[in-house]
Amino acid sequence: MAEQVLSERAPEVEATPSGRATDTAAAPRWWSEELSVISTLWRRDMLHLLRERSRWLGVVLQPLLFWLLLGSGLSGSFRAPQHGGASYLVYFFPGTLVMVLLFTTIFATISVIEDRQSGFLQGVLVAPGSRAATVLGKTAGVTSLALVQAALLLLLAPLAGYPWGQVRWLPLTAVLVLGSASLTAINFAMAWLLNSSQGYHALMSVVLLPLWVISGAMFPMPEGWLGVVMRLNPLTYIVAAVRAALGGAGAPIGLLTSMLVLVGMTLAGLAWAVFTTGRRPAGAQA
């Protein structure tokens, strides 16, 4: 009887090639710790969304006003033959959708600086769970925020010349998830390396916003050197993929090609973010 009780309580072990015994419960415990970190960070961002709804609504209203004002102002003079002669309101809508993703990821990842200065992220990193789980948890939270913002703007898609029936929803969802995840990972790495929110905003203003301008969001891809620069711009592939998934004519890059680039962007961005969490931020004290 005693042997039976001991056998029931003893952890399961299996021999390794070196002859050592390992606890088979370690693997489930490791996965539980990883998923716990990811879900906790994801829920934290969701709570921020619920508590600060006016702030996140503003992330949608600013691009929406930009689309209405700029689109209406240029609709009389803009015609792109390669885009079916679409008006500027129609042409500019996919770029506006990407702007929502960009603004959401920028504003949401600025909390990385604040959380690091308050010691929250350091506490997460020393708790059970890997650096990759921390990055994935933050990326999942911000990506969810970006999808909520994008969904609000997509309610206006028929008014922008994109009937819901012609939208390829599955590819569009995949593009929005990959685009948001890649931008979040890149912004996470940048925010980790900086020590002030002012420096972060300045960097975003001189790096990501100009990249959005020359991504095909505001004007078609021209010939010559600017066209080459636009093809080297990673945001070009997000805009092109969104345009193709919405059913717009004249996407300069195919949907499949854009999706493959986005997968590579996401993996590279996540790897960079995980790497940066092991580095001391600029200006941090030893």
* Better-predicted residue by pLDDT, 149 or 195: 149
pLDDT of residue 286: 40
pLDDT of residue 12: 45
Over the stretch 8-57, which tens digit does the pLDDT of each residue have? Answer: 434 444 444 444 444 445 556 767 777 888 888 888 888 877 777 666 66
Can you tell me the distance from the alpha carbon of 122 to that of 133, in angstroms, rounded to the nearest whole number?
13
Q: Across residues 213-238, what is the average pLDDT?
A: 90
Range among 208-217, 241-250, 276-285 rated most confident: 208-217
CB hemisphere CA count around 113 (13 angstroms): 19
User: Which range, of 121-125, 128-132, 221-225, averages the lowest pLDDT?
Assistant: 121-125
pLDDT of residue 79: 64
End-to-end CA distance of the chain: 58
Can you tell me the distance from the alpha carbon of 241 to that of 168, in angstroms, rounded to the nearest whole number?
11
CB hemisphere CA count around 274 (13 angstroms): 13
- The residue ranges of DSSP E strands in 92-156, in sequence order, are none
What is the per-residue burial (b if ≥16 Cβ within 10 Å, else e) of 212-231? Answer: bebbbbbbebeeeeeeeebe
Whether 61 shows a pLDDT value over 50: the answer reads: yes
Q: What is the mean pLDDT of the chain?
A: 80
Whether 7 shows a pLDDT value over 90: the answer reads: no
CB neighbourhood size of 141 (10 A) = 25
pLDDT of residue 260: 96
User: Which range, of 82-96, 99-113, 195-209, 223-237, averages the lowest pLDDT?
Assistant: 82-96
Whether 128 shows a pLDDT value over 90: the answer reads: no
Whether 285 shows a pLDDT value over 60: the answer reads: no
Can you tell me the distance from the alpha carbon of 58 to that of 107, in angstroms, rounded to the nearest whole number?
11
pLDDT of residue 8: 41
pLDDT of residue 97: 93
Amino acid code (one letter) for 79: R
pLDDT of residue 25: 52
pTM comes to 0.81
pLDDT of residue 53: 63
96: CB partners within 8 A, 6+ apart:
63, 64, 66, 67, 153, 217
Q: Across residues 140-160, what is the average pLDDT?
A: 90
Two tokens, residue 141: 């939270």
CA distances from residue 120 to 127, 186, 231 in whole angstroms, order as listed: 11, 20, 39
Amino acid code (one letter) for 269: G
User: Which range, of 33-37, 184-188, 252-256, 272-276, averages the lowest pLDDT?
Assistant: 33-37
pLDDT of residue 179: 95
Can you tell me the distance from the alpha carbon of 74 to that of 211, in angstroms, rounded to the nearest whole number?
21
Q: Across residues 245-264, what is the average pLDDT?
A: 87
Q: Across residues 264-285, what is the average pLDDT?
A: 80
Q: Which of 113, 286, 277 is nearest to 194 (CA)?
A: 113
- The residue ranges of DSSP E strands in the chain, in sequence order, are 13-15, 21-23
pLDDT of residue 177: 96
Q: What is the DSSP letter of 11?
A: P
Under the banding of pLDDT at 50, 70 and 90, the label for residue 108 is confident
pLDDT of residue 76: 66
